Structure 1
Amino acid sequence: MVLFASSMRKYPVSLAIAWALALESVLAQEGTGTAVAGTNPNYSCDPTVCVLPKCYCANGSPPGGLSPRSIPQFITLTFDDAVDSVLEPVIQSMIDGPLNPNGCPISSTFFVSTQWNDYWAVQRLYSKGHEIATHTMNHIGSPPIEEIVGAQTALNRYAGVPKSKLLGFRHPYLLYSTQSFQNLASAGTFLYESSMSMDGSINLWPYTLDNGPAISCVTGDCSGNFKFPGLWSLPMANLNNQDGSINTSMDPMANSTSPLTSDEILALLQYNFLSHYNGQRTPMGLFIHATPALPAIEPQRLVAYVAFIQWTLQNYPDVYWINNQQLLAWMQSPSDIAGSLKNPALGCLFPARDPSNVEICDGIDNKGDGNIDVGLVESCQYPDQNAYFSSCFGCPSKAPNVSDANPATSSTRFPIPDAGCPNAGTWDPVAGQCVSLARPIIVRAAVSTSPGSGNSSSAPGSGSSSSTIAMAVLGHLFLVGC
């Protein structure tokens, strides 16, 4: 059992329930439409002019001239909205434990809105190797720049995510406009945006918006000069039903008033996976909110998600569950299935956990004894703002908000440097310095790496067994970020 610090925020039950219900009403409107987003007939891009690393034309073929069957199948798992102790058990049940073929833990992307957010919970996710991205402060569609930059500022200051790592953004409700994209681009710190849904039958890799959108804009407005050089767009392919109709962009939906069963959700995800895997192997996305999978709402969702992750990894040894930044990094330096086992873009930095370590406030049980940040994390409460969170970086005079994302504070805690810590170091906010802590270097390396060695048409439970796994001690670590 993992014991969190005694100062961890504890919601009153009524507040936790109210929060979950409020968020449920939000996500009911977000990404659940079935509008068809096809290709944009006016899109044009010259691949001899638009070249990596800063420009990339939209297309359905793997980067680097590789053939679809020679590359891994990538799946990106993303979560939207705030993270806290109510949702964390659902999230951890999905992402804790599974390993990619290179021995690294699977990694997800969290698009975090800061209202009702627990910054320490976000820090724990980041310290385990997940990507943190922004989703505004107050979950505002087509947001002003203050909402975008404010969330980035607060996540950096109170969740300890380096600014250099806060590179992604998703519009709430998937509601965007030319102006909101201009706001995003003008911030000058974002690498990519991921809000544009598209027909799941379209084969498309991420691309830059130098030449505008390659797909039609159905959840937002792309009128005017919608060209943003160097800003990547990660399309959100809809899930398709087996009859070819669109299911949804986010959170699998039932076609009737009855909720989907876990078996139905699993079958839907498997069908869409095989369409990617047996086709062009464009990245598949599983775009979800954690709230619907809460035990009091639709717990069968969690059952299905966990089963789907296990099914892909056990039956297909060339499948990687990665975050969005890893996907873009792999596209800059693509490799075949065998080469991807050692491709730094798909690597990981294991959490600093070893009995020889001292405990610092970084969201990890540094000594490996199951105690996380005990006596170090602070509980911040602002009843007048209906805001409660914990943080390793001190409590400000008021909760971060759109008019003041980094309020004054009397805390002596030190903010993390914009670039983080070099050489796999860990930031100690109490001492205000990067420290060197011991990290595991034992990873599992897959023996079988032959392309397509999984049963490409298998139904649930009928695929081949997972490849033999051997333990190996590596002389280096693949570093995604520090």
Structure 2
Amino acid sequence: MLFKYFLFSIFVLSTRLLPIQAAYSCDPAACVAPNCFCASTDPPGNIPIDQVPQFFVLTFDDAIQADSMKAVNALIGGRKNPNGCPITTTYFTQTMYTDFGMVTDWYAAGHEVADHTMTHPNLPGEVEITGNKLALHAFSGIPYKKITGFRAPYLNYSIGMLQTLAKLGFTYDSSITASPGDTYWPYTLDFGVANECWTSICDAAVKLPGFFEFPMYNVLGDNNVEYSMDPMLSGDPEVVEKWLVSNFDRHIQNKKAPFGLYLHPAQLVPQAGRPDPGPQITHYNNFLQYALSKPNVYAVTYSQVLAWMKNPVPASQLKDHPAFKCDVPKLGTEICNGLDDNSNGNIDEGAKQQCNLPTASFSTCYNCPSDIPSPGDPTPKRVSQNRFEVSDSCDLLYWDPIVGKCLCQDMSCAFTDLSSVNGTSTSGNSGSGGSSGSGANGNSTNPGQASNAWKVESESRVAIGVIGVIISLICGTLV
């Protein structure tokens, strides 16, 4: 087991041994907010540093299913931000092994759903990226324009991938790691990539106006070794908790760049052959309690951070910022939208359909598919036609899929989604009836497969890391 931890450490170290630092240069006179942001350690807005909020971004990767949600909820619990709203997080969601009904619930709770491809390939192409959006819209009801972020599986980003994301209208990528020496606030790629990155990737010639890179801020551990995802796997949880506290303090005592904690929930699910995740969860919770108890610390989504950057206000005014409100629709009658609309303590009771396929089962509010969504067919033909797909003029929170009606009654919830994927719409598969399906709380089958997907990811990182160290040793760059 210690050898596994050693290999994981080697991977993270190696990601810093072979970087090319691009000749990054950004002209502040030509790069003006809110459409352009130079890479900078300084927060935007010229707000006195003691009045700048400290943002905490807690992210999760891979499938959303019953086991992963149990692990996630063990961390976020009933935690709230200083404005009284529940903390929010960003989930980079792959569609394989995902329970689409749970994605609806996650979005309805105020969290962000971001793109992590369909099948978690090593080098994602356009069909994997667009297929994710299409499937999450068709079977979870997530509006296209709300799926604005992306993280590459295994963090294997490329120039072509960044260009594809910008072409498809994504707002940001979060696949590039940042060291303590380049802890920039999120920045647009108008003038290229500023952070350290792999040879041939970090190139000032990659210029994507208005497209954000939201760096993944590494955790600095003992002996100046850096760690990116799942830091508790890198050592004794009690020791790693101290690393997290130290790194968080460094952020909050300097220029307050967002602090990130990046996790795979599958690593926090008990599984044969792996250490008990209980100590990890305990020490993550200890750290979260410490960080979120500090003044003006807000645990929010990536999109909320970017909204603040475009319209920065002092922490004392954040409660009035449009992006940080937490209003919940008061509908009075239960519809299938991931909320307890009639205040009886239950969510979508009797409204979700249960989809039982040969190799997976999941729930949905929007008609079960005849096959598992895949890159070749992200929106398979529906088994039934008794539900209506979310309208482009309504958010899923107000959409009744059983009768096909938007319950938004005033401008406060008005909505127009013009962000279709390559002009593709799945409305042709929308239902035409109004009868409800059988109610069920969906559970994706094969939860171990999602965990195995993470295992493959970890092993791939280790392999890449070992190769990196070997090359570095040959080049004489290991320090």
Q: 2:220 and 2:170 mapped to 1: Cα distance? A: 30
- Deviation per residue, 1:212-236 (Å, 9 max, x gap): 1001213983459422111100001
Q: Does 2:358 match 1:421? A: no
**Partner residue, 1:390:** 363
Q: Number of paired residues?
A: 405
Q: 2:92 and 2:44 mapped to 1: Cα distance? A: 26
For 2:282, the aligned partner's letter is V
| Kept after mapping to 1: 8 A contact 2:193/2:204 | no
Q: Does 2:352 match 1:377? A: yes
**Partner residue, 1:461:** none
| Residue among 264, 269, 286 paired with 1:289 | 264
| Residue among 80, 85, 105 paired with 1:99 | 80
State the identity %: 37
| Kept after mapping to 2: 8 A contact 1:79/1:111 | yes
Q: 1:126 and 1:418 mapped to 2: Cα distance? A: 17
Q: Post-superposition shift, 1:30?
A: 12
- Deviation per residue, 1:194-247 (Å, 9 max, x gap): 00012134231000011110012139834594221111000011011154331x
| Residue among 131, 134, 137 paired with 1:156 | 137
Q: Does 2:293 match 1:311? A: no
Q: 1:273 and 1:140 mapped to 2: Cα distance? A: 32
Secondary structure of 2:206's partner? coil
Secondary structure of 2:118's partner? coil
| Kept after mapping to 1: 8 A contact 2:122/2:153 | yes
Does the C-alpha gap of structure 1 residues 363 and 61 become closer, same or farther in structure 2, counting only changes over 3 Å?
same
| Kept after mapping to 1: 8 A contact 2:186/2:215 | yes
What are the residue-to-residue correspondences of 1:81-230 with 2, within 5 Å?
Answer: 81-187=62-168, 189-218=169-198, 221-222=201-202, 225-230=205-210
Q: 2:416 and 2:85 mapped to 1: Cα distance? A: 14
- Deviation per residue, 1:416-435 (Å, 9 max, x gap): 1235339xx61111111122
For structure 1, which segment, 321-330 or 215-224, has the greater mean C-alpha deviation from structure 2 after superposition? Answer: 215-224
Does the C-alpha gap of structure 1 residues 118 and 31 become closer, same or farther in structure 2, counting only changes over 3 Å?
farther
Q: Post-superposition shift, 1:32?
A: 5.8
Q: Post-superposition shift, 1:306?
A: 2.1
Q: 1:123 and 1:31 mapped to 2: Cα distance? A: 38
Backbone CA RMSD of aligned residues? 2.9
Q: 1:193 and 1:254 mapped to 2: Cα distance? A: 25
Q: 2:74 and 2:199 mapped to 1: Cα distance? A: 31
- Deviation per residue, 1:280-308 (Å, 9 max, x gap): 11111111111111234422222222222
Does the C-alpha gap of structure 1 residues 102 and 292 become closer, same or farther in structure 2, counting only changes over 3 Å?
same
**Partner residue, 2:306:** 328
- Deviation per residue, 1:87-127 (Å, 9 max, x gap): 11111222231111111110000000101111111111100
**Partner residue, 2:437:** none
| Kept after mapping to 2: 8 A contact 1:120/1:390 | yes
Does the C-alpha gap of structure 1 residues 170 and 381 become closer, same or farther in structure 2, counting only changes over 3 Å?
same
**Partner residue, 1:300:** 279
Does the C-alpha gap of structure 1 residues 152 and 104 become closer, same or farther in structure 2, counting only changes over 3 Å?
same
Does the C-alpha gap of structure 1 residues 220 and 72 become closer, same or farther in structure 2, counting only changes over 3 Å?
farther
| Residue among 378, 382, 386 paired with 1:405 | 378
Does the C-alpha gap of structure 1 residues 29 and 252 become closer, same or farther in structure 2, counting only changes over 3 Å?
closer
What are the residue-to-residue correspondences of 1:394-473 with 2, within 5 Å?
Answer: 394-409=367-382, 410-418=384-392, 420-421=394-395, 426-435=398-407
Q: 1:479 and 1:319 mapped to 2: Cα distance? A: 30
Which of the pair is proportionally richer in helix? Answer: 2
For 2:392, the aligned partner's letter is D
Secondary structure of 2:392's partner? coil
- Deviation per residue, 1:347-395 (Å, 9 max, x gap): 2233x46xx8211111122223222222211111221xx2321101110
For 1:298, the aligned partner's letter is P
Does the C-alpha gap of structure 1 residues 264 and 220 become closer, same or farther in structure 2, counting only changes over 3 Å?
farther
| Kept after mapping to 1: 8 A contact 2:22/2:202 | no
Q: 1:479 and 1:301 mapped to 2: Cα distance? A: 42
For 1:221, the aligned partner's letter is I
Q: Post-superposition shift, 1:478?
A: 11
Q: 1:361 and 1:266 mapped to 2: Cα distance? A: 40
Does the C-alpha gap of structure 1 residues 147 and 254 become closer, same or farther in structure 2, counting only changes over 3 Å?
closer
Does the C-alpha gap of structure 1 residues 419 and 164 become closer, same or farther in structure 2, counting only changes over 3 Å?
farther
Uncovered stretches (5+) of structure 2, i.e. residues with no partner: 418-479
Secondary structure of 1:367's partner? coil
| Kept after mapping to 2: 8 A contact 1:163/1:419 | no
**Partner residue, 2:228:** 249
